[in-house]
A and B are shown apart, each in its own frame.
Chain A
Amino acid sequence: SQQGEEDPQALSIQEGENATMNCSYKTSINNLQWYRQNSGRGLVHLILIRSNEREKHSGRLRVTLDTSKKSSSLLITASRAADTASYFCAPLTQGGSEKLVFGKGTKLTVNP
């Protein structure tokens, strides 16, 4: 496992705007996952992108992966107040039940 580093650490936007957060990692991966955590609660799995994929969509979420730059981005379109949460990326080297190593995350605030 390796730790992903999320950037920015904090992001504040207005409802309806798009939010983009980035994740960088250091060595080659099998897949990369994004999780969301509402304040003081458990993490929710959002999306998984495999190393041979470049882009993936799920509802208002769009994830890109650039393995040459060892980076991923998560775009939330038409944000809502309910999207206010911390977002974490987890790059996995092997897959399977590999342990997840989290950075400090990106704290997103969506103002109504």
Chain B
Amino acid sequence: DAGVTQSPTHLIKTRGQQVTLRCSPKSGHDTVSWYQQALGQGPQFIFQYYEEEERQRGNFPDRFSGHQFPNYSSELNVNALLLGDSALYLCASSLFRGGRYEQYFGPGTRLTVT
């Protein structure tokens, strides 16, 4: 049973560029959440997708957008990259309903903006 997978593992981009990160949820899960973790900080919630719609959103600008596909996988897009976007981006999957509240995290994508 594959867990949550993310690609790529590492990424280096230049200011102003755009980036797309990808996530495949754990088998059987239908909900994907994205988090940004700066060095030395806890993960910060970006947004959550369920049934191909954004259900919840954290305090992130519109430069951050996402998508969920019919197979529940998800993408995180960041436009007009800033130096401050350098962080570990984590994807977590879960079941929207069913009484199981645990979220399963992927290994993350380390984004460096130069």
Chain A interface (Cβ < 8 Å from any Cβ of B)? 1, 30-31, 33, 35, 40-45, 48, 88, 92, 95-105
Contacts and interface: CB of A to CB of B under 8 A. Distances in A.
Contacts, number: 68
B36 to A, nearest CB: 11
Interface of B: 4, 31, 33, 35, 40-45, 48, 50, 55-56, 58, 88, 90, 92, 94-97, 99, 101-108, 110
A104 B96 contact: no
Nearest to A99: B45
Contacts of A44: 105
Contacts of A98: 101
A42 B101 contact: no
Chain A interface main SS type? loop
A43 B43 contact: yes
B76 to A, nearest CB: 15
Contact of B94 (A1, A31, A97, A104): A97
